[in-house]
Amino acid sequence: MAALPPLQSLLSHYARQPDSTWTCGAFGALAEFNFSPGEQITFAEGPAVGAATNRGAFRVEVMPELRVVAYETLSKNAGRWGQGLALCLPRELALMGRRTVVTELGPDEQAVRPQDRGAVLFDLGIGKPQSDICVRSTEPETIALLRTACGRPLFAPGSNLPRRMPALSPHRVFRSKAARVEVYQPIPPPDGQTPLGPHTHLRPYMLTGRSHASTVPVPQGFLPALWLFPPHPLHDANGRATAFDADRYTAFQALLKRFGDPAMMAGKAATSDADLSTRAARLGFRIAERQLKLLEELSGTP
């Protein structure tokens, strides 16, 4: 059997790790997929990378134009940090529908699971540049309600679609030119808790034209098509604290060396922040301080 291309091999490796999270969408509108150890799961075959469970699915087409950016962020929790990979496409290639009203798109022929390809897909009109924020359904009541909302913004005055969405809980389908994440779990009510595993976030107060958070160092002229959050050394995919995992820590530091911002890496290697002239370098220094302190505490080094 021929060896997989390097990026496909990397993504396939993480697709099989339960504490990996795959996220599609844009600032204020995100869909996340992960799975639990022992959960029944089917992995994609062929050139695409992906997986499906009874709770959700994801798929990414390993396009040659994809550019991987590895990064770390400062956590609000003292001594902690975040980490991720942004899979980016050149802006003109990445642009999606950018619809601003609810729009019927027809059968979702690209659904991850064959049984979902006859369901009717609706773009919710969120208008993000690189991601269509959609729902789909086979239920007549849900389809009828969505059709009555077509041609108007999702949050138009008098629209009852947002209010009724949790009870109807259509599948959520967030898609980009290279990837999609699908969520089948019910939508929690406004006062409910986000479920473990696949889920979505749609925050009206954050639905600006921004494509991504400012903490993600997407290169100029690119847009993020998908995020991969490899297993974190300090918590599981649902954010629950775990004992420090040195192998996970080492694995992501290797990804940073391969795909990270050179300025940030220079900051991580610095012994002082006195001469660090860029924001990325200073951020790298501060993150390295937290990591070094943790490593020293675990090893007993003063």
- The pLDDT score that the predictor gives to residue 209 is 67
pLDDT exceeding 90 applies to what percent of the chain?
80
Q: Indicate the SS3 state at residue 93.
A: helix
pLDDT at 80: 93
Residue 207's nearest CA partner among 105, 131, 94 is 131
pLDDT tens for each residue of 246-260: 999 999 999 999 999
Q: How confident is the model at residue 133 (pLDDT cuts 50, 70, 90)?
A: very high
Over residues 135-160, mean pLDDT: 95
Would you list the domain boundaries of the chain? 1-94+169-260, 261-302
pLDDT of the residue at 253? 97
pLDDT (tens digit per residue) in 168-180: 999 999 999 999 9
Q: At what angle do helices 279-299 and 262-269 cross, to 10 degrees?
A: 40
How many angstroms separate the CA atoms of 225 and 67, rounded? 10
Range with the largest mean pLDDT of 179-183, 185-189, 198-202, 279-283: 179-183
pLDDT for 215: 80
pLDDT band at 302 (very low <50, low <70, confident <90, very high): low
Q: What is the model's pLDDT at position 283?
A: 95
Place of tokens 């050139």: 47
State the average pLDDT over residues 190-195: 85
> Is residue 154 very low, low, confident or very high in pLDDT (cuts 50, 70, 90)?
very high
User: For residue 206, what pLDDT is reported?
Assistant: 65
| 262-269 helix and 246-259 helix, angle to the nearest 10 degrees | 130
Least confident of 47-51, 58-62, 210-214, 252-256: 210-214
Give per-residue pLDDT as tens, 67-113. Answer: 999 999 999 888 899 999 999 999 999 999 999 999 999 999 999 99
254-280 pLDDT, tens digit per residue, is: 999 999 999 999 999 999 988 899 999
DSSP symbol at 192: S
Mean residue pLDDT of the chain comes to: 93
29: left (phi > 0), else alpha (psi -120 to 50), else beta? Answer: beta
**Percent of the chain scoring above 70 in pLDDT:** 96
- Asked if residue 3 has pLDDT above 70, the reply is no
Structure confidence at residue 179 (pLDDT):
98
Tokens at 25, concatenated: 């969408």
Q: Which one is predicted more confidently, 2 or 137?
A: 137
Q: What is the pLDDT of residue 4?
A: 65
How does residue 208 score in pLDDT terms, banded at 50, 70 and 90? low
pLDDT band at residue 192 using 50, 70 and 90 as cut-offs: confident
